[in-house]
Amino acid sequence: MRTQVGIIGAGPAGLMLAHLLHRAGIESVVLENRSRDYVEKRVRAGVLEHPTVELLRETGLAERLDAQGLPHHGFALRFDGVDHRVALTELTGREITVYGQQEVVKDLIAARLAAGLALEFEVTGVSVHDLDSDRPRIAYTDSSGAARTLECDIIAGCDGFHGICRPAVADALTVFERVYPFAWLGVLAQTPPSHEELIYCYHDRGFALHSMRSPEVTRLYLQVPPDEPIERWPDDRIWEELGTRLAADGFTLTSGPIMEKGVTPMRSFVAEPMRHGRLFLAGDAAHIVPPTGAKGMNLAIADVRVLAAGAAAYFSTGRTELLDAYSDTCLRRVWRAEHFSWWMTSMLHRDPAGDPFDQRLQLSQLRYTAASRAALTSLAENYVGLPFDAPS
């Protein structure tokens, strides 16, 4: 088998890259070890930056997004039981859109299959070879059990943090990592959101977040220890704790059936460079951010936009400048997002050690941010997403 770009992973990074390549007339094959049903149902991020939404519109992927997505023009910082609104659109002229990652994935899969393009699910035994040659290969077993070899010009490793691509070149990478001393207990509840916007809440008992996925489904999070057993959190305890942390004058938390719940540890992670030979890493395969800043999926989309442009230049003219600059270009945005996500996380989460000095610093930062238009503007422009071509 032969293609121009072999893509490992059918998440937002891999599927969006395949879509952009197709629009540029470049052939690709997408390989995914999970089933289509699993990929389309796994609940992940739900906040799309303004540049991400614009790219989806420009590339013909926004029909359901525009019909079902929830534009948000601000969000609340809640501390001391009081809301302080971050007026995103007023401060930046842009907004975010709440639209689940799995919905973006559904749209991308539908577009690819409608075009009759190669997308293989439930492949196993994936490995990459000859990355330093001009004919790298992907070996795998397809869903029927047949052994396959896919020869490519370029391989895109879009297979996530636990995938095979980054470990295949680990000796050539430098890793930067920070593991946080807390996790998020996330729940998906069949109940209307209790507030029209997101609420980021600092509380003595720990951080809480009120988010949403639709007018009928609410997404909520609680700060918990990183090794917290989910069995310790029956539904009644979850709602009671959310009610305590999110309490504010005039706010009523609406409870309902919890459809999903789980505990997610938090880390910052960057692997440099994001390229080795003909293998290009993108999205979670190369970097992880704490979810506080809502950057994960948006960074993945930004990565593959850069990679698609480099591939288009290479296949049309033979020029490699954009591909050669891929890692440096992406990493400037990645480190900006890492800093913003670290800053949001550090400001809003309680230190499990309970250091009173750190707690006073957090409240000082929150109060300053809420009272300063300059600080609010900086927060807002990072949150809605810096333009793709802006210096980072």
Q: Which residue has the tokens 């390229």?
A: 275
Tell me: pLDDT of 392 over 70: no
Q: In this predicted structure, what is the pLDDT of residue 45?
A: 76
Percent of the chain with pLDDT over 90: 95
Percent of the chain with pLDDT over 70: 99
Q: What mean pLDDT is predicted for residues 162-172? A: 97
To the query of whether residue 202 is one of the catalytic residues in this protein, the response is no
Give the pLDDT band (50/70/90) at residue 83.
very high
Alpha-carbon distances of 14 from 25, 151, 155, rounded to whole Å: 16, 17, 11
Active-site residue, selected from the candidate residues 50, 195, 276, 295:
295
Q: In this predicted structure, what is the pLDDT of residue 271?
A: 98
Which of 14, 195, 211, 192 lies closest to 100, judged by CA? 211
For the question of whether the overall pTM of this predicted structure is more than 0.85, the answer is yes
pLDDT tens, 279-299? Answer: 999 999 999 999 999 999 999
Tell me: pLDDT of 67 over 90: yes
Average pLDDT, the chain: 96
To the query of whether residue 72 is one of the catalytic residues in this protein, the response is yes
Q: In this predicted structure, what is the pLDDT of residue 218?
A: 94
Q: What mean pLDDT is predicted for residues 191-200? A: 96
Q: Is 273 helix (H, G, I), strand (E, B) or coil?
A: coil
Q: In this predicted structure, what is the pLDDT of residue 353?
A: 86
To the query of whether residue 73 is one of the catalytic residues in this protein, the response is no
Q: What mean pLDDT is predicted for residues 32-59? A: 93
Active-site residue, selected from the candidate residues 99, 202, 221, 383:
383
Alpha-carbon distances of 244 from 11, 188, 201, 241, 257, rounded to whole Å: 36, 18, 11, 5, 19
Q: Is 106 helix (H, G, I), strand (E, B) or coil?
A: helix
Q: What mean pLDDT is predicted for residues 130-135? A: 96
Q: In this predicted structure, what is the pLDDT of residue 140?
A: 98
Q: In this predicted structure, what is the pLDDT of residue 66?
A: 97
pLDDT tens, 350-374? Answer: 988 888 999 999 999 999 999 999 9
Alpha-carbon distances of 248 from 82, 223, 240, 279, rounded to whole Å: 6, 18, 14, 50
Q: In this predicted structure, what is the pLDDT of residue 391?
A: 61
pLDDT tens, 247-264? Answer: 999 999 999 999 999 999
Phi-psi region of 14 (alpha: psi -120 to 50; beta: other; left: phi over 0): alpha
Active-site residue, selected from the candidate residues 136, 193, 290, 291:
291
Cα angle for residues 90, 92, 94 (degrees, 5° grid): 90
Report long-range pairs for 240-244 (Cβ below 8 Å, ≥24 apart). 241/205, 241/208, 242/208, 244/203, 244/205
Active-site residue, selected from the candidate residues 19, 50, 72, 195:
72
Q: In this predicted structure, what is the pLDDT of residue 43?
A: 74
To the query of whether residue 291 is one of the catalytic residues in this protein, the response is yes
pLDDT tens, 296-351? Answer: 999 999 999 999 999 999 999 999 999 999 999 999 999 999 999 999 999 999 98
Active-site residue, selected from the candidate residues 99, 140, 180, 200:
200
Q: In this predicted structure, what is the pLDDT of residue 318?
A: 96
Which of 334, 325, 328 lies closest to 295, judged by CA? 334
In total, the chain counts a number of residues equal to: 392
Q: In this predicted structure, what is the pLDDT of residue 354?
A: 82
Which of 266, 263, 264 lies closest to 179, judged by CA? 266
Read off φ and ψ for residue 316, nearest 5 degrees. -90, -30
Does domain 5-72+96-176+267-351 bear CATH number 3.50.50.60?
A: yes
The CB-side HSE value for 45 (13 A sphere, CA atoms) comes to 24
The strand order across the sheet containing 275-276 reads 119-120, 28-31, 5-8, 154-157, 279-281, 275-276
pLDDT tens, 133-152? Answer: 999 999 999 999 999 999 99
